[in-house]
């Protein structure tokens, strides 16, 4: 007989469950961002995921208005975070700053506020946004 210790079997089950969750998340995100990726392609911005922007240093100028528009679309949490992080570039300010600061003001979840503060910090000085609630918690995000 080729029996495995119970702890090894338990680890394998845990790893299988983790793989299943990661695969399910990947499928959900892929389906969710499909329309966004197609819209970007229509504007000659070629990515397979919004996360490609983060890997390449942020959204290019042509993508910014599309990403800003998608902030008002109901997206999977992971895709929303990718959109916000992709907008964390100085050149996004004209199209994104007001939208991001308004989202920040309304947001109650700390994880989302952190992402928004980081994006705002990439395009503004701290003294420009001191009126945002609790923004001092994210001072290190500002240039």
Q: Could you read off the pLDDT of 75-117 as tens digits, one per residue?
A: 999 999 999 999 999 999 999 999 999 999 999 999 999 999 9
Query: Please, which pLDDT band fits residue 30 given cuts at 50, 70 and 90?
Result: confident
Backbone Cα Rg of the chain: 19
78 burial class (0-12, 13-18, 19+ CB within 10 angstroms)? middle
Q: Is the model's pLDDT at 25 over the cut of 80? A: no
Alpha-carbon span 48 to 63, nearest angstrom: 13
Query: Please, which pLDDT band fits residue 21 given cuts at 50, 70 and 90?
Result: confident
- What's the per-residue H, E or C state across the chain? CCCCCHHHHHHHHHHHHHHHHHHHHHHHHHHHHHHHHHHHHHCCCCCCCCHHHHHCCCCCCCCHHHHHHHCCCCCCHHHHHHHHHHCCCHHHHHHHHHHHHHHHHHCCCHHHHHHHHHHHHHHCCHHHCCCCCCHHHHHHHCC
């Amino acid at each position: 007989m080729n029996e495995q210790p119970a702890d090894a079997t338990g680890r394998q089950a845990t790893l299988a469950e983790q793989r299943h969750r990661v695969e399910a998340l990947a499928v959900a995100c892929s389906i969710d961002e499909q329309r966004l990726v197609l819209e970007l392609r229509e504007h000659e911005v070629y990515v397979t995921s919004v996360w490609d922007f983060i890997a390449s240093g942020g959204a290019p100028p042509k993508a910014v208005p599309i990403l800003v528009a998608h902030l008002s679309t109901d997206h999977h949490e992971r895709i929303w975070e990718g959109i916000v992080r992709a907008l964390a570039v100085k050149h996004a300010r004209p199209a994104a700053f007001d939208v991001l600061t308004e989202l920040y003001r309304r947001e109650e979840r700390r994880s989302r506020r952190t992402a928004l503060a980081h994006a705002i910090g990439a395009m503004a000085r701290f003294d420009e946004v001191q009126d945002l609630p609790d923004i001092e918690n994210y001072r290190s995000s500002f240039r």
